[in-house]
Amino acid sequence: MFIDFLFTLRAHKLNVSTHEWMTLMEALAKGLHDSSLDGFYRLCRTICIKDVAQYDAYDQAFAEYFRDVARDAAAMTQQLQDWLNNPALRNQLTDEQRAALQGLDIEKLRELFEQRLREQKERHDRGNRWIGTGGSSPFGSGGEHPTGLRIGGGGGRSAMQVADERRFREYRKDVILDVRQIDVALRGLRRLGREGAEEELDLDETVDKTCKNAGEIDVVFRPPRRNRVKVILLMDVGGSMDPHSDLMSRIFTAASRSGRFAKFRSYYFHNCIYQAVYEDALFRKPVPVADLLGNSDRDEKLVIVGDALMHPAELLEPGGASYYYSNNRSTGLEWLRRLGAHFRSAAWLNPEPERYWPGTTIEPIASVFGMWQLSLDGINAAVRHLVRGGPKPVVGNPARWSG
């Protein structure tokens, strides 16, 4: 049952395992879906979807598979809702008639209600038995009964409506990042180690030693755990990066938060890195690249953010940056290779969509630094590369630029 829905989920790149699917079938057999499409929507999402970032894909798959089913059911539901929202005027009961109505406990009411649902075939108004309006039946809307069940009202939203609205699109991993998402992604760079004075209580060791001392308390302290990762952030600014200025501000805000890294430094450049980088975006405080390399450990993480787009001469011709540096005799690509050779871990994050990368100056730069798009997927992949290493993504044909 619903096996086609399983394949629809997988077609939307949702990795639903056989074990999860069988768990869902077991939950259905136990009635945990409340015998409704809304209940099935929530139950299936709870069991089969492991990450809120996949909620949007789940909504698309659900809407695709159940659209026709929900349309017919919604028409029937609307007819019932219209009826209950416009009840017939109720009969006025005398005191004697009202006293004659017998009170029913909740269990008996539920049993009778289910029986009426199975037996009733049409609308009823002003009656005393069927589910209807304006009468003295225990079930319905707008009637009168001392211990009845009111049917109608509410206005809850259906599973199809929720799925069609796709309320979870903000969780998709291919969208531009906000500060919180970047901050969470950067946590993957943390490498915790104990250092400093012994100022933190080691509760486990204290309990262990106290037990070994036959209950005599032996308090143990230890150095606190601190993040040992050191990060250098180089940011392209001006020109073609102006449209990405808001995103760059978010990157800087998330990366520079106090306590995120053991050491954090940030510098600016324009288009390509040449003889110097700058402490300010107005380029008034230069830091020679030679000094940057001399004052940096090889194990520091180098993160470069920029679109890597420029005139080929700025990247490939000696003195191509003479507009900025009159005495520069090296190509921009050579300066980038010096940085890449010094740092063991480096990554380039590019705000431009990947479909625009081939055939541009991005190709040779991506041959020096592993390059990923500045999306949640991209930044997570870059963090994994900085921590674990591994091959760099290949962009286009860098060989075309070697001549």
pLDDT above 70 covers what percent of the chain?
Answer: 63
Which uninterrupted H or E stretch holds 346? strand 345-350
Residue 142 lies inside a defined structural domain of this protein = yes
Give domain status of residue 296, yes or no. Answer: yes
Shared domain check, 205 and 236: no
Q: Is residue 214 domain-shared with residue 235, that is, in the same domain?
A: no
Whether residues 374 and 281 fall in one domain: yes
Using the predicted structure, report yes or no on whether residue 31 has a pLDDT greater than 60.
yes
173-210 residue pLDDT tens: 444 566 676 777 777 776 544 444 556 667 787 788 88
- pLDDT value of position 155: 41
Q: Is residue 170 part of a domain?
A: no
Q: Is-contact 135 90, C-beta < 8 A? A: yes
- Based on the structure, what is the number of domains in the chain? 3
Answer yes or no: is 192 within a domain: no
Average pLDDT over residues 145-171: 54
Q: Are residues 346 and 250 in the same domain?
A: yes
* 262 lies in the same domain as 212: no
Least confident window among 159-168, 260-269, 379-388: 159-168
Instruction: Taking residues 247-267, report their average pLDDT.
Output: 79
Instruction: Based on the fold, state whether residues 243 and 103 are members of the same structural domain.
Output: no
Which residue has better confidence, 236 or 90?
Answer: 236
pTM more than 0.75 = no
In a domain, 61, yes or no: yes
Residues 232 and 152 in one domain: no
**Residue 332: burial class (beta carbons within 10 Å; 0-12, 13-18, 19+):** buried
Rounded distance between C-alpha atoms, residue 50 and residue 23, angstroms: 14
The band of 314, judged by pLDDT with boundaries at 50, 70 and 90, is confident
Residues 206, 247 share a domain? no
For the segment 18-27, what is each residue's pLDDT rounded down to a tens digit? Answer: 899 999 999 9
Greatest mean pLDDT among 186-190, 256-260, 303-307, 309-313 lies in 303-307
- Examine the domain organization and report whether 396 and 295 are in the same domain: yes
pLDDT at residue 147 tops 50: no
Q: What is the pLDDT of residue 289?
A: 92
* Dihedral sign (CA 294, 300, 306, 309): positive
Residue 357, phi-psi category: left (phi > 0), alpha (psi -120 to 50), beta (remainder) = alpha
**CA–CA dist 21, 33 (Å, integer):** 14
Distance CA 398, CA 10 (A): 35
Lookup result for tokens 């499409």: 37
Q: What is the DSSP string of 30-84?
A: TTTTTTSHHHHHHHHHHHH---GGGHHHHHHHHHHHHHHHHHHHHHHHHHHHHHH
Same structural domain, 156 and 26: yes
Residues 305 and 280 occupy one common structural domain: yes
Do 249 and 343 fall within a single domain? yes
- Check residues 314 and 324 and name the one with the higher pLDDT: 314
pLDDT of 154: 41
CB neighbour list of residue 251: distance below 8 Å, 6 or more residues apart: 177, 182, 233, 235, 305, 349, 374
Residue 327 lies in a domain: yes
Q: Are strands 286-288 and 301-305 parallel, antiparallel or unpaired?
A: unpaired
Confirm whether 87 is domain-assigned. yes
Q: State which residues form the domain around 207.
A: 197-222
Reported as a pLDDT band with limits 50, 70 and 90, residue 370 is very high
**Does the residue 173 lie in any domain?**
no
